[in-house]
Amino acid sequence: MPKRSYRSRSIRKIYIKTPGGKTVIHYERKKPKKAHCGSCGAILKGVPRERPYKLRKLAKTQRRPERPYGGVLCSKCARLLFIREARK
């Protein structure tokens, strides 16, 4: 029996093969849902699907696209927004 707190369904198991040939179970929290566009709701590309503590280990350029509104709006919506702002 694992530790009592690991018996929760909100925790996922990861089977890892050790160098010695054993398979051990690591317990981790589940991943959050994918990042979505703020205006149309499409799935954002280039945004990793990880918990914040793992995102913190990444470089800033690996966390979101390097464009204004990157990681917030999808590329289509951002394009429209730039054109609209220029037309004003």
Partner 1 sequence: MIEIGRLCLKIAGKESGKKCVIVDVIDDSYVMVDGDVKRKRCNIKHLEPLEGTIKIEKNASHDMVVKEFKKLAIEIKESKPKEKKEKPKKIRGKKEKVEVKEEKPKRKALLTVGAKKEKKETKAKTTENKKEKPDKPKEEKKVKKKIVKENKS
Does residue number 67 form part of the binding site for partner 1 (CB under 8 A)? yes
Helix (H, G, I), strand (E, B) or coil at 5: helix
Judged by CB under 8 A, the residue of 13, 29, 31, 79 near partner 1 is 79
The nearer residue to partner 1, 51 or 67, going by C-beta atoms, is 67
Judged by CB under 8 A, the residue of 24, 42, 54, 66 near partner 1 is 66
Beta bridge partners of 43: 36
Does residue number 45 form part of the binding site for partner 1 (CB under 8 A)? no
